[in-house]
């Protein structure tokens, strides 16, 4: 493996290995996102050239059990990029503007 290839990314998501992480990897793979996965011992390191989006409902379906964003966040140990979270998703954006919620004009 070429070490330079591992730095050619804009976002990173690090997941502690376990059932939630395995389901997350399957959900991301099924979504067609451009993400490279590296085995880092007790962790999975996901590098993306763009945003990395985790849909918690899809992860829950892969897991075969209900999953909340709070429970999923326990398995997410780190990220590089600009985080956006909601009740049903976690996204690491490559650009800052993607993670900023703008108020409607006049508010």
78 assigned to some structural domain: yes
Residue 63 inside a domain? The answer is yes
Indicate if the alpha-carbon torsion angle 67, 70, 75, 81 is positive or negative.
Answer: positive
Q: How far is Cα 21 from Cα 7, in angstroms, rounded to an integer?
A: 22
Q: Does residue 104 fall inside a structural domain?
A: no
The answer to whether position 107 is within a domain reads: no
The whole domain housing 95 covers 3-99
Tell me if 28 sits within 8 A of 35, measured CB to CB: yes
Which strands form 11-16's sheet, in the order they lie side by side?
A: 35-40, 43-48, 11-16, 76-80
Total of domains in the chain: 1
Q: Residues 7-60: pLDDT tens digits?
A: 578 999 999 999 999 999 999 999 999 999 999 999 999 999 999 999 999 999
Q: Does some domain include residue 105?
A: no
Q: What is the CATH number of the domain that holds 55?
A: 3.90.56.10
Cβ atoms of residues 81 and 94 within 8 Å: yes
Question: pTM (2 decimals)?
Answer: 0.82
CA neighbor of 30 nearest in space, from 65, 1, 68, 57: 57
């Amino acid at each position: 493996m070429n070490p330079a290839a591992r730095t050619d990314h804009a976002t990173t998501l690090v997941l502690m290995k376990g059932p939630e992480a395995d389901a997350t990897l399957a959900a991301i793979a099924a979504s067609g996102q451009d993400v490279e996965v590296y085995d880092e011992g007790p962790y999975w390191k996901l590098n993306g050239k763009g945003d990395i989006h985790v849909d918690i409902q899809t992860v829950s379906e892969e897991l075969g059990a209900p999953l909340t964003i709070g429970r999923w966040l326990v398995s997410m140990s780190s990220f590089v990029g600009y985080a956006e979270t909601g009740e049903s998703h976690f996204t690491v954006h490559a650009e800052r503007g993607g993670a900023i919620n703008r108020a409607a004009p006049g508010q």
